[in-house]
Amino acid sequence: MGFCLPHILAFLTLTLVACHAALPPQLYWNSVLPNSKMPKAISELLQPGKPGGTNVNVGKGGVHVEAGKGKPGGGTNVTVGGKGGVGVNAGKGTNVGVGKGGVSVNTGHKGKPVHVGVTPGPNPFVYKYAATETQLHQDPNVAIFFLEKDMRPGTTMKLHFTTNSNTQTFVPRETAESIPFSSNRLPEIFNQFSVKSGSVEADIIKGTIQECENPAIRGEEKYCATSLESMIDFSTSRLGGENVRAISTEAGIGATLQKYTIASGAKKLAADKSVVCHKQNYPYAVFYCHATKTTRAYVVPLKGADGVNVKAVAVCHTDTSDWNPKHLSFQVLKVKPGTVPVCHFLPSDHVVWVPNQKST
């Protein structure tokens, strides 16, 4: 199992050269959102190219192709999915690794540990899916659900905030638009990335595209952004203009698996509308975004048992009546659809967009 390195190198080189004159993603952000700070969840996915030699760098942990100059053993490196994802390194031999990937959050509810997983199992941020037994009982990944009434100082939760391992980076919009992104063109996509049909990599690509193509639930508008520019455009258009801000959870290196206590100072972000974007597994950065007018977003300070501080972003859904009755959140919280607001913390590689108004 592996990638055809010369093919992917040639393909990405051609697409990047073709869009050389386009406005880079960082400059596009600055031009559209000059008064908004770029959150770490986005800035760390922008990787500048390296000087010298032939270098096509769409990011550490994303699709990274580097034709090394004067390096022993060749020095061509292609990584899809980052640490724990799918990696290919062609130098002195070719190594391919497939792991679980994702960002780990391990949570407890009412004093009893509940392990919530994203892979394997349906995405917990897609609310039409029922949870699987694996999701309910297997550790790792990214969701913690809680009730809005419990978001008060003194509440404790067992969490695991890790550094991002899902580090596929952004490609320019023109590059993303030149690469097919459709279930009808899967053979072409597999061919372009030298992925064998039926492989783990192929299943990841297929699953992400299919989820992006599935219809949204009532009351939500969904969109899969294949570039930072398209995510900016979708979010600003759905929030009524360019006066918006993007925020993400900020967890330090020492934010390990432990009990966290909600500290005083939680802030509700103005307006009951938002666009929440969840990072997907794909050869380059793709975000599953959904816009809704039935959410409340908060910035919540957490204090770890060892003293570490985390600034967590929480999103509370005020209307869950159209969610699957067997969705993970209802099974964890023991509540029914449409009865109470359901909240969750965002992993550190996800982003929430809100109108740029003063927090309360």
Single-letter code of the amino acid located at 268: K
Confidence check: pLDDT of 187 > 80: yes
Cα–Cα distance list, 92 to 74, 89, 168, 177 (Å)? 7, 9, 24, 34
Q: Which of 50-54, 202-206, 296-300 has the lowest mean pLDDT?
A: 50-54
Q: What is the pLDDT of residue 339?
A: 93
Q: Do 19 and 34 form a contact (C-beta atoms < 8 A)?
A: no
The residue among 313 and 357 whose pLDDT is bigger is 313
Q: What pLDDT score does 85 carry? A: 34
Half-sphere exposure of 256 (CA within 13 A, CB side): 4
| Residue 194 near residue 8 (C-beta atoms within 8 A) | yes
Give the CB-side neighbour count of residue 219, counting CA atoms within 13 A. Answer: 16
The pLDDT of residue 162 is: 59
Q: b vs e for 3-12, b when ≥16 Cβ sit within 10 Å of the residue's Cβ?
A: bbbeebbebb
How far apart, in Å, are the Cα atoms of 45 and each of 19, 273, 342? 19, 26, 29
Average pLDDT over residues 184-207: 93
Among 11-25, 113-127, 259-273, the least confident range: 113-127
Predicted pLDDT at 284: 94
HEC-encoded secondary structure of 138-181 = CCCCCCEEEEHHHCCCCCEEEECCCCCCCCCCCCCHHHHHHCCC
**pLDDT at residue 86 in the model:** 32
d(CA 328, CA 146): 11
**Is the confidence at residue 53, as pLDDT, over 60?**
no
Residue 313 structure tokens: 């972003």
* CA–CA distance, 156 with 172 (Å, rounded to integer): 41
- Average pLDDT (321-346) is 86
Report the chain's mean pLDDT, rounded to a whole number.
72
Convert the pLDDT of each residue in 146-174 to its tens digit: 899 989 999 988 877 655 566 789 999 99
User: What pTM, to 2 d.p., does this model score?
Assistant: 0.71
pLDDT of 297 above 80: yes
Give 221-256 pLDDT, tens digit per residue. 999 999 999 999 999 999 988 889 999 998 876 567
Give residue 210's pLDDT: 93
Lowest mean pLDDT among 131-145, 292-306, 328-342: 131-145
Please state, in angstroms and rounded to a whole number, the distance separating the CA atoms of residues 334 and 329: 8
Concatenated DSSP letters for 18-60? HTTTSPPHHHHHHHH-TTSPPPHHHHTT--PPPSSSEEEEETT
Give the integer Cα–Cα distance in Å for 66 and 49: 10
pLDDT of residue 110: 37
- Span 74-93, average pLDDT: 34
Query: In the prediction, which pLDDT does 324 show?
Result: 83
In terms of Cα–Cα distance, which of 4, 55, 5, 47 is closest to 26? 47
Query: For residue 258, what pLDDT band results from cuts at 50, 70 and 90?
Result: confident
Per-residue pLDDT at 107: 30
Rounded-to-integer distance, Cα 64 and Cα 59, Å: 5
Structure tokens that stand for 347 in this block: 């992993």
What digits encode the pLDDT tens for the residues 101-123? 332 223 333 333 222 223 445 66
DSSP code, position 269: P
* Range of 49-58, 63-72, 101-110, 129-138 with top mean pLDDT: 129-138
